[in-house]
Amino acid sequence: MVMASCSQVDLEPEAASDVPMVRVDDAGALHFQSAQAFFAAMEAISRMSPEEQVSWEERIGFTSLRRTLTLAERQLESAQTPVEQERLLEAYADVIDASEGTLRPRLSSPGYAGLVNRAGVFYVNGVIHKVTPDMLIISRDGRPETVEKYVASPRIREQLEAEPELVPEEGVRVARYAGEHGVTAQHHCGYERSGRYQSSDRRLDMYLRSLVYVSSDGINTYRRAGVELQMSGEKKLLGSWRSYNTTYSYRNVSFQVDVPIVTGSSGGSSLYYLETQLLGFADGGSGGESPSHSIYSILGHIIQNNALPASGFHKVYGQGSSRGTGGSWVTINCGFCSDGTCNSFETAGSCVSDCGYCGDGMCYGSETLSSCPGDCSYCGDGLCTEGVTACASDCGGYCGDGLCSNDESTSCSDCCPWGQICPED
């Protein structure tokens, strides 16, 4: 069952909440007592500022992958020579990918990156979770070597193309937590949308992604829907694009997705329906300088022991800028224009089908020559309206207007062929 919600809700961060009690082990991984505690921590961190996140981590003696990535990006920005940059890339090769000529985090999900250590690991009730760029590996035995053997398995990745979740052996579960990039079969805007601004020496990338967070206590598996916004800036230095510290702003971020609403349970599994909701992030920004900026929000209820596919975007819109873009904004836009509503971020110029009106100078949609002659008139339509006053066939001519009307063919110099003597006007 799918229900529609017409009003938009801005997912504005509230004051930072206390994260449930966690333990940090010798390998720097967090241990949660339950899956509910894990999701509560994820929600609490989503409401924290970057400074509050660092303060919380320092207080419990934890270094998240997110903080490791921030440190790596800042060190790479300050590298003075290609040799120094290469040394840093080698040192951070486990968390940064430079294979395509640009620097990208191997694990880009801000929801997970704030709760896993550099190895991408956390525990729930002793159950190990290993997060990779596109899948989550869970093992009840709690042993890192068990999950590691599935990280680079080509067979597992091939099977995940067809199935969102696998049980390759007793006590092990492998789940794909993000929809495939570029897939548009479920909803025409897909699971991820991106935009880029680029000048000769600056560029800004912006992503909006729909996904499902997964956790397990060894007995039950739990899922929650989420949406993530990520922005990263790069500048050209020493002939290559490199991340750098800048400020970020975003505005008009809106998205329509299917949100799970639990109605009960049966046999230990959640019963739920999907409600189509129009949501968004309140306008905001990074506050300070950083190589990248990200926010995320968890949507709907926790789903226990039941499938929850990532919801593709029905429609999605957002704009982002940085100090380096010089006032220009990158725009992500899919599905909003032509939806019949003139949204606050749309104008007659950007979306005439939704926001056009008689008098805007564009003849579109239901406008006709008779209902809106000011926009739809043309020379030859038989009407002398504003904009076609120089049309002799509609408005009539006069000798000296530079137009040769039928009644001027022998009497006016407007019709005089070159080289002939014609009567004076």
pLDDT digits 0-9 by tens, 181-225: 434 445 679 899 999 999 999 999 999 999 999 999 999 999 999
Do 331 and 409 sit in the same domain of this protein?
no
Residue pLDDT, tens place only, 312-344? 899 999 999 999 999 999 999 998 877 777 877
Do 351 and 399 sit in the same domain of this protein?
no
Report if residue 363 sits inside a domain. no
Q: What is the pLDDT of residue 239?
A: 75
Do 245 and 109 sit in the same domain of this protein?
yes
Report if residue 95 sits inside a domain. yes
Report if residue 360 sits inside a domain. no
Q: Which residues pair with 214 in a beta bridge?
A: 223
The total domain count for the chain is 2
304 vs 239, which has greater pLDDT? 304
Report if residue 27 sits inside a domain. yes
Q: Starting at the edge strand that comes first in sequence, how are the strands of the sheet with 30-32 ordered?
A: 23-24, 30-32, 121-124, 127-131, 135-139, 172-176, 165-169
Strands 202-216, 221-237: pairing kind: antiparallel
Do 394 and 328 sit in the same domain of this protein?
no
Residue pLDDT, tens place only, 348-396? 777 877 787 787 777 776 677 778 887 787 777 667 765 555 676 667 6
Do 408 and 292 sit in the same domain of this protein?
no
Q: What is the pLDDT of residue 7?
A: 43
As given in the structure block, the two tokens for residue 30 are 């967090």
Do 279 and 413 sit in the same domain of this protein?
no
Alpha-carbon span 152 to 136, nearest angstrom = 12
Report if residue 160 sits inside a domain. yes
The angle formed by the CA atoms of residues 89, 93 and 94, to the nearest 5 degrees, is 155
Residue 134 has pLDDT above 70, yes or no: yes
Q: What is the pLDDT of residue 242?
A: 77
Region 408-425 average pLDDT = 56
Report if residue 335 sits inside a domain. yes
Do 141 and 269 sit in the same domain of this protein?
yes
Report if residue 378 sits inside a domain. no
Of 328, 355, 382, the residue at which a domain comes to its end is: 355
Region 135-151 average pLDDT = 94
Q: What is the pLDDT of residue 12?
A: 45
Residue 6 has pLDDT above 50, yes or no: no
Q: Which residues pair with 237 in a beta bridge?
A: 240
Q: What is the pLDDT of residue 349?
A: 73
Do 281 and 397 sit in the same domain of this protein?
no
Q: What is the pLDDT of residue 310?
A: 80
Report if residue 70 sits inside a domain. yes
Alpha-carbon span 213 to 113, nearest angstrom = 12
pTM more than 0.85: no
What confidence tier does 1 reach under pLDDT thresholds 50, 70, 90? very low
Strands 30-32, 121-124: pairing kind: parallel
Of 304, 333, 355, the residue at which a domain comes to its end is: 355
Would you give the DSSP letter of residue 147?
Answer: H
Region 138-165 average pLDDT = 89
Residue 18 has pLDDT above 70, yes or no: no
Do 414 and 336 sit in the same domain of this protein?
no
Do 344 and 395 sit in the same domain of this protein?
no
How confident is the prediction for the chain on average, in pLDDT? Answer: 83
Provide the residue range defining the domain that includes 12. Answer: 2-355
Residue pLDDT, tens place only, 235-287? 887 677 877 889 999 999 999 999 999 999 999 999 999 999 999 999 999 88
Do 318 and 416 sit in the same domain of this protein?
no
Task: Flag the least confident range among 15-29, 322-336, 395-409.
Answer: 395-409
Do 311 and 415 sit in the same domain of this protein?
no
Count Cα neighbours of 4 within 13 Å in the Cβ-side half-sphere. Answer: 2
| DSSP string computed for 34-91 | SHHHHHHHHHHHHTS-HHHHHHHHHHHT---HHHHHHHHHHHHHT--SHHHHHHHHHH
